[in-house]
Amino acid sequence: MELTGLQQITVDEILSFYSPTQKVRVDFKAPTGSGKTLMASHFISALIEQNVTDNFIFVIATPSSSSLPEFFEKKINFYKRFLNYAKFEVEYIPSPSSAKAERIEWTPKIMPIKNKVYIFGKSSFGKGRILSESGIIDDFIIAAIDSSFKLIYIRDEAHIGDRIDNSDEAKQFEKTMQDKASFILKMTATPNYNDHTIQRVILKERDLNNGNINDGKYLLKTTPVMLLNRDIADNEILQDAISVFNLIKAQYKALRLNPAIRPAMLIQVDNESFTDKQKQKVFDDALFSIKSSLNNNALTWVQYFGNNKKDSNRVFKDKFTLDDITNGSFNDTDCIIFKIGPSTGWDIPRACMLVQIRNVSSVSLNIQTIGRIKRNPYPGLEKNETTDKYFVYSNTDNIEKDFRVFNYKVSDDFKNELLASVEIINKQDMQKNIKTEALNKDLEKYLLDNKSLIEQQLNSLFSYIDGQLTYRKIRHTVQGKSIFTPISNPFLFLKYYKQLLQSNSEFNRIIKSTVVNFHRQYYAKSDALENYSLVEFFITVLLENHRFAILNIVNKNKIYDPKYAIKLLPYDSSNYIELYDADTLDKKLKTEKILGQPYLFNIKNGQSDVQPLDSTPEAIAFIEICKYNEYTNNIKVWAKNLLSSNVNGEYLDENNNIRHSYFDFIIKFQNNYFLYIEVKSTEDIDERKTQLLRNAYANYFKELESKRNQSFLDTPLLISIWKIDKQGKITQETFYDKTVIDTNLNALTVSKSLITIGNLGLLNI
């Protein structure tokens, strides 16, 4: 359960906002299935680790639906074995009822314990609960503050908690937490964009499913298959789902994985009616019909309506827990019939189908519920065509009210329109020969020139903490702060060191012998070092702090000549689907109605044609392109590019791995010039990636200008990075063949640059 690179960056960004002297609030938005609880666990671990002298207590409040608070406790205790620092307790604090029938002889008391994590369901502070009525929570907080504890408050599912836990007592608890906490982390689908004192950390689904920026890992399934039709009868939609599910089982079996992934169908139902006998009978009859259909199709099932209402057609009958279904010995069950309560907070990655049937269905079909079937079950979080699909079947009456389905289809007018994609055409025979003598000479000079700096870094990163030689592993730097993890266990350090070498294979192959010889000569017994320096320490410092400089030296002495070419192809005509929760689809990130031509896609969402966008900068860029198109009619076709498209640019990263850049916007002008646009905020969260793209785009045209690659001449492509500040001002950096276009586009505004490109002479391609 290690974090992916993107999850780690997210944790580090949250951690960077902590201040030992000031109250800070952070709103954290991430898709369902992105690992929010795992990231919260790593945040707790790292915060304690980074501030060992501070006295923390952590309060986590969750919505009180079903057993969610208990799930949270179990998850964190499970994740503790994977944390760098795990010396903290975790406890779920239930609140007994104060009703006479349940009255207890003693009054519970909560004592603040250093670094302990206390988990509450918000209903613990509702009317008729001992924790609120007896003032126990107030005493707990007062005792903690009086003892100089720093309260860290983590609010889970904040956007739904206010709706379902809205008693006066729950509101008072929330006010107490807001007033007394030193640091407030709200995990929410609706961040507060109006209060500028609140920090925001946003993790986007498209980034989670971008292997280029997430270590080749895909946390979520990306291909939805939807059957949403309120006019289909209950028995028909269920039988259709069963037929498809049996095909899915065969496809999963054909993967021949060991252990096998056994797909699961989730059937979500609503609460029964205990007051309306007629509604209760309809519910019971429909539930019986569902079970009969599953039995008739030889599918195994369990019914989980809470710990006190369970059933199955398995030999164990009701002798199972929710954990058994998801992670235990019963995880080969085909179908799980459940209520809305457990639809948040529990993980079952093998689930790939969600079915809702009108007469027993929950009234709410939302992104969180769908999130139960979106987690990627494939080993190593790799992408596989079979396991990448998830299926939603529903004939409920509120489909359009619950969430938005955006279906993208390439317009018939543009199915044969050729677009440009950049590829490296000599992948197989690119030379990697090294001018060894020159490389060794340049490397030795660099190491000598930086000898004093390297000594300082060795002393800083390898030092004694509490009597133990410890490596301070810097994970990330945000806002000038270095986020680090101390590693004192030698076996953990060697494990990390091995991973470091594996991820820098060029180092091992090309320069390790030179570095080892240099270390032996200058560092093995250096008086300048406070600690005895092993060669492993020296290599670690070089790879962590000097990797880019050394790679530049290697590349300088490498015979490595990638050749780029333009490939013309029609846009992949597959149907693309995006899902958005109706309550959380930010209107600021939707465009106005798209008036057909010349937009590449027909986009249908059941109400109107709109284009959802990922950020405010993208919305500003979109509007800029729309204004230009309305003014000139010089655009033949354009679109917000999709991450799964076949229109992209290949480039080499700092380790000479081939990566793909999926441009944010693609434009083809009437004169057949192409302009592809990357949109960035001036507050770029990944400047390193932007620099890689900048280098790649420059290399495309550097080769063109020096070698006159005919394919570029026939297909004039321009690539631009638009940076947008908080006031909406756009600045550009455009890369293009200056031997073909003699205007300095970078000296122009974005609007004038678009006009200039659109007015260039017509080319025939």
Backbone dihedral angles phi then psi of residue 139, each to the nearest 5 degrees: -60, -40
CA 699 to chain centre: 30
| Tens digits of residue pLDDT in 351-373 | 999 888 877 765 555 566 777 78
- Tokens 């709200």 belong to which residue? 186
Of 80-84, 233-237, 493-497, 528-532, give the lowest mean pLDDT range: 528-532
> From the CB of residue 290, how many other CB atoms can be counted at a distance below 10 Å?
23
- Does residue 343 carry a pLDDT above 50? no
User: What's the rounded Cα separation, in Å, for the pair 520 and 525?
Assistant: 8
Query: Residue 124's pLDDT is what?
Result: 59
Helix (H, G, I), strand (E, B) or coil at 583: coil
Please give the radius of gyration of the chain, using alpha carbons only, rounded to the nearest integer.
29
Q: Does domain 223-397 have CATH number 3.40.50.300?
A: yes
Q: What angle do CA 265, 268, 274 make, to 5 degrees?
A: 145
**What is the four-CA torsion angle of 318, 323, 329, 333, rounded to 10 degrees?**
70
Q: DSSP letter string over 227-254? A: EE-TTS-HHHHHHHHHHHHHHHHHHHHH
Strand 665-669 vs strand 674-681: parallel, antiparallel, or unpaired? antiparallel
Q: Which of 270-284, 423-437, 618-632 has the lowest mean pLDDT?
A: 423-437
- Local structure of residue 450 (DSSP, 8 states): T
Q: What is the mean pLDDT of the chain?
A: 79
pLDDT of residue 723: 92
- Check pLDDT > 80 for residue 162: no
Six-digit token string for 412 = 């018939």
| Amino acid at site 470 | T
Model confidence band, residue 108 (pLDDT cutoffs 50, 70, 90): low
Residue appearing with tokens 């990163």: 461
Looking at residues 603-627, what average pLDDT do you find?
Answer: 78
Place 83 in a pLDDT band, splitting at 50, 70 and 90.
Answer: confident
Segment 213-252, tens digit of pLDDT:
676 788 888 888 877 777 788 888 899 999 999 999 999 9
Query: CATH number of 5-204: 1.10.3720.10, 3.20.20.300, 3.40.50.10490, 3.40.50.300?
Result: 3.40.50.300
**Structure confidence at residue 749 (pLDDT):** 94
| Tens digits of residue pLDDT in 727-745 | 889 999 999 888 778 899 9
**Nearest CA-CA partner of 180 in 391, 25, 32:** 25
633: alpha, beta or left? (left if phi > 0; alpha if psi -120 to 50):
left
Match 């993790």 to its residue by tokens: 203
Q: What is the 3-state secondary structure (H, E, C) of 600-667?
A: CEEEECCCCCCCECCCHHHHHHHHHHHHHHHHHCCEEEEEECCCCCCCCEEEECCCCCEEEECCCEEE
Span 656-703, pLDDT tens digits: 667 778 899 999 999 999 999 999 888 765 676 777 778 878 877 776
Domain pair 5-204 / 223-397, same fold: yes
Q: Return the structure tokens found at 580.
A: 């958005």
Where residue 386 falls among pLDDT bands split at 50, 70, 90? very high
Q: Where are the chain's structural domains?
A: 5-204, 223-397, 419-425+564-758, 433-559
104 compared with 121, residue with greater pLDDT = 121
87: left (phi over 0), alpha (psi -120 to 50) or beta: beta
Task: Give the tens place of pLDDT for each residue, 449-484.
Answer: 888 888 888 887 887 777 778 887 766 555 555 666
Q: What is the pLDDT of residues 55-64, one digit of tens each?
A: 999 999 887 5
Spatial distance between the Cα atoms of 12 and 49, rounded to a whole number of angstroms: 13
The residues, ordered by sequence, that sit 6+ positions from 664 with a Cβ below 8 Å of its Cβ are: 618, 621, 640, 641, 677, 678, 679
